[in-house]
Structure 1
Amino acid sequence: MEHTEKDSSRRKFIKSGLIAAATFSIVPRHVLGGKNFLAPSDKLYVAGIGTGGKGYSNLKNIYNSEKAVISHLCDVDDRRSAKTREEHPKAKYYQDWRELFDKDHKKFDAVCVSTPDHNHAVIALGAMQLKKHVFVEKPLTHDIYEARVLKDAAKKYKVITQMGNQGASNDGLRKMQEWFEAGVLGDIHTVYCWTDRPVWPQGIPWSTNKAQIPKELNWDLWLGTAQYRDYVDKVVPFNWRGWWDFGTGALGDMGCHLLDAPCSVLHLQSPSQVEASVGTVYVDEFKRGYFPESCPPSSHVILTFNETPRNKTKLKLHWMDGGIKPERPEELDANDNFGGGNGALFIGTKGKMMCGTYNENPRLIPLSRNAEVNVPETKKRVEGSTGGHYKQWVEASIAGFGKGEVSSPFETAAALTESLLIANLAIRAHDVEVLQNGKKTFPGRNIKLIWDDANMRVTNFDEVNQFVKREYREGFKLL
């Protein structure tokens, strides 16, 4: 067949168009045509802040969605970031997230925050102010005030948000919701959540042995919003969890995974009262240790939630850590497995149920009921269950605000986080010194704290409100 000059020109036009399309497909989506533009081959360009440990696994799961590009990496510790940088060699690397935001914010669409707890809020808010979608590792924030700020910011800036409590996407959670809504359990009056954490040191003094800072670690940047203190060995990369300046203890580590079930099934908002007892450390035969900078080795906290239109009875939610577990349900046979190191037990007016970490393996009690009870599936499952938590956020971010669905948006993640941080107020109240008649006393140890949700404060022990909103180090601010 003879090809005319017109045919040749047409082929050149199509070829140039395909090249142009391929070129644009590797550019962040917001560059293509505004924030509402969606190309068929669109990818989400993600900046990862905190790239070792949980940061590594978060970014790996985001990348494995096959719809994300890890375009930027940021970590204060070059040792921790090495593996992630090796797997994403084209990603531009920074140590300071503020420099990343300042220089390259036009080159990515979303941010994954996997730093220690005390820096979550300031980084996440900075990203949202740049209109970036945000994934934040649990707990959402270090302080109650910060949770309120992030919740409001997500709505204000119209971005897709997700907290890293992966069990919120688990099929088991939806099964428990269906049981409750079908009336299988009646109204829930008692919930127990327990964990074998901490698996790091707690109830100890900060070391007086100042250590040399590793050359790969920017200690000042690692401290971030926290007040300055000298570096000591083994705080990085994991043992920071046991220090109130940086972490939120066992509640912060596992609370978002275990309290998620009662909060989601019952639509809990804010507790009205909280009380706690804590384990003690003895420095010698006669003297109990007093280490207010460190979380206690174990605790038992009781949160009281008022009745709601969904659950028409007051609810007592027990949190137990340090290996403490509730009494074994009498309906279980002697050899029936009553959970593992982590779990949750619901006690209702008509029945009981329990589950494991990430809301996995939900079971009615006695176990024979699981074969007898059959309720229809009314809740949409997340593709991939727990593992789909990341892909869900990626796809919702690509779709844009109001067009996708996520399991743990800041709207609900903030309420869950606030509950566990209110529980921490009762734990921290034990170590608050008050001078009375010239003597040091600890009046927070033997009382129940009354929580005023509207005004975000404890009404009957003002000294503990210092932990609702902490003072940031100079150079950092939230608003």
Structure 2
Amino acid sequence: MSHSLNRRQVLKTGSAAAGLACFSTSTANGQATPSQKFRTAHIGVGGMGGSDLRSIASHGSVEVAALCDVDAKRLAEAAAKHPNAKTFTDYREMIATLGDSIDGVVVSTPDHTHAPAAMAAMNAGKPVYCQKPLTHEVVEARRLREVAEEKNLVTQMGIQIHSSRAYRQAVLMIQDGVIGKVKEVHAWSNKNWGYDKPSLPEPAAAPDHLNFDLWLGTAADREYVPGVYHPGQWRKLIDFGTGTLGDMGVHIFDTPYAALELTAPNWVKTDCRQPTGVGHPERNVVEYEFPQTRFTTETMKWKWYDGSFAPPSPSEVGLPEGTQLPGQGSLFVGEDGHLLLQHIADAVLFPTEKFKDYKRPEVEGESHYHQWVDACMGKGKASAPFSFGGPLTEALLLGVVANRFPNQKLLWNAEQMAITNHEAANKLLRSDYRQGFEVEGLS
């Protein structure tokens, strides 16, 4: 069914709804008691949203209570599989209307809607599972983390590989000191979520099944362009996605960031084409410097490569010529060796002869989705809460900002939350939300 909500009611979603209890069987911090059903509301149910829906719904305690999508076809497909769920086109209406009849919210939208949807849910006191990257803009990532911590809500960023056996084992190996203190990280993806053309194709009317105004959400108003915005090419565009760095970088950054207990970078610099104001570059090399942690040398250099710049040459990363590097992965360069982590595969140690007798730590993989549900129900903890996902996303998105200012080193002050040497870059840490789509805590 479709619902309408006036602007005054929508804006109250961020304040009055915060006073609602999760429901009678939930605790004050959004955790359901272990014996009860956990009722979920899903924002975005096609594409990755459909995968998220299936994975969350496969938990034996989950009851899918609500579905929301701006695409009527995708919404109907999801509703056919969950006929008891209430359906909505506007997530703001869903959250304001359902109140204490939902226990947790899953956000699986294009990047630019992650933060406003997640914040609206948290303002209503709901635990949140939000797809990666956590936000579209740097300031949004900081605010989601702060509010999640202030309200003591169970949260999880949707980097599902984070909970895989291979990635968990790699974290333990690095922290076990297998290659000594790490002085460099190289990470890459040969995917291309960029768009180098100076303009988009001609606009046309949006299809009847798509509410394009709600799809735009907080972004500036514009005409629909077929085959560009919805359903899948938005990642390439600066107003909606975060390019290859945001799409794949967040997965591949995850393990080194966690293993080395990194915080905020000192600076970031990128090598790419000049900005067009339309799309992200089709290939980038992004450099960071991170301050020392207990697992790194005094300062640690981090280099990201994507598109046709990936993978780097073996000699460029200190490996023997002829070493076969995967299309996506990361390489830890330590004082005593190298650890190569292919995307979703077991780590490989170099030199191989030196580490042939190394006994790897034993660890099991987990369902990232079920982990969040269990944590919401008072059993265990989420492994990628916004307290982790927020700072990781901040660092990642500083690289996305740097793509707009090629070959210029941007100095980052995390405490002030400012790029201290570049006023134009500093202004890109957040943008104004379109009138009528403001959210308390972000606007």
**SS at 1:323 equivalent:** helix
Deviation at 1:318, TM superposition (A): 0.6
Deviation at 1:174, TM superposition (A): 2.6
Query: Which residues of 2 match residues 288-367 of structure 1 at below 5 A?
Result: 291-324=276-309, 325-328=311-314, 331=319, 334=322, 337-339=324-326, 341-358=327-344, 360-367=345-352
Query: Which residues of 2 match residues 366-381 of structure 1 at below 5 A?
Result: 366-369=351-354, 371-377=356-362, 381=363
Counterpart amino acid of residue 41 in structure 2: A
Check whether the contact 2:235–2:242 (CA below 8 A) recurs between aligned residues. yes
Query: Which residues of 2 match residues 129-148 of structure 1 at below 5 A?
Result: 129-148=123-142
Q: Given the alignment of the two structures, is residue 456 of structure 1 paired with residue 417 of structure 2, yes or no?
A: yes
**SS at 2:187 equivalent:** strand
The residue aligned with 1:122 is: 116
Deviation at 1:105, TM superposition (A): 1.8
Q: Given the alignment of the two structures, is residue 446 of structure 1 paired with residue 407 of structure 2, yes or no?
A: yes
The residue aligned with 2:434 is: 473
Deviation at 1:214, TM superposition (A): 0.4
Check whether the contact 1:29–1:42 (CA below 8 A) recurs between aligned residues. no
The residue aligned with 1:438 is: none
Greater Rg over alpha carbons, structure: 1
Counterpart amino acid of residue 82 in structure 1: A
Q: Give CA-to-partner distance per residue, 1:360-390, whole Å, 9 cap, x none.
A: 321112344553111544xxx46x43xx100
**2:208 & 2:163 partners in 1: Cα distance?**
40
Check whether the contact 2:163–2:383 (CA below 8 A) recurs between aligned residues. yes
In structure 2, which of residues 189, 197, 200 is the aligned counterpart of residue 204 of structure 1? 197
Query: Which residues of 2 match residues 421-432 of structure 1 at below 5 A?
Result: 421-429=397-405
Counterpart amino acid of residue 146 in structure 2: D
Structure 1: 5+ residue runs without aligned partners? 1-27, 281-289, 430-444
**1:99 & 1:154 partners in 2: Cα distance?**
21
**Structure 1's 38 and 251: CA in aligned 2 closer, same or farther, altered over 3 A?**
closer
Deviation at 1:298, TM superposition (A): 0.6
Deviation at 1:317, TM superposition (A): 0.6
Q: Give CA-to-partner distance per residue, 1:122-156, whole Å, 9 cap, x none.
A: 11011111111100000000111001100011111
Q: TM-score, normalised by structure 2?
A: 0.89
Aligned length: 415
**SS at 2:286 equivalent:** strand
**Structure 1's 184 and 206: CA in aligned 2 closer, same or farther, altered over 3 A?**
same
Deviation at 1:331, TM superposition (A): 4.9
In structure 2, which of residues 208, 211, 233 is the aligned counterpart of residue 218 of structure 1? 211
Counterpart amino acid of residue 408 in structure 1: A
**Structure 1's 353 and 212: CA in aligned 2 closer, same or farther, altered over 3 A?**
same
Q: TM-score, normalised by structure 1?
A: 0.82
- Cα RMSD (Å): 2.1
Check whether the contact 2:285–2:304 (CA below 8 A) recurs between aligned residues. yes
Q: Give CA-to-partner distance per residue, 1:396-437, whole Å, 9 cap, x none.
A: 0011xxx631110000101110111011121112xxxxxxxx
Counterpart amino acid of residue 312 in structure 1: T
Structure 1 stretch 469-478 or stretch 231-240: which is displaced more?
Answer: 469-478
The residue aligned with 2:393 is: 417
Report percent identity of matched pairs. 36
Counterpart amino acid of residue 154 in structure 1: A
Q: Given the alignment of the two structures, is residue 160 of structure 1 paired with residue 136 of structure 2, yes or no?
A: no
Check whether the contact 1:332–1:367 (CA below 8 A) recurs between aligned residues. no
**Structure 1's 461 and 331: CA in aligned 2 closer, same or farther, altered over 3 A?**
closer
**Structure 1's 140 and 38: CA in aligned 2 closer, same or farther, altered over 3 A?**
closer
The residue aligned with 2:372 is: 393
Deviation at 1:474, TM superposition (A): 0.8
**Structure 1's 107 and 457: CA in aligned 2 closer, same or farther, altered over 3 A?**
same
Check whether the contact 2:331–2:338 (CA below 8 A) recurs between aligned residues. yes
Q: Given the alignment of the two structures, is residue 407 of structure 1 paired with residue 405 of structure 2, yes or no?
A: no
The residue aligned with 2:167 is: 173
**Structure 1's 463 and 375: CA in aligned 2 closer, same or farther, altered over 3 A?**
same
Counterpart amino acid of residue 364 in structure 1: L
Deviation at 1:86, TM superposition (A): 1.5
Counterpart amino acid of residue 204 in structure 1: K
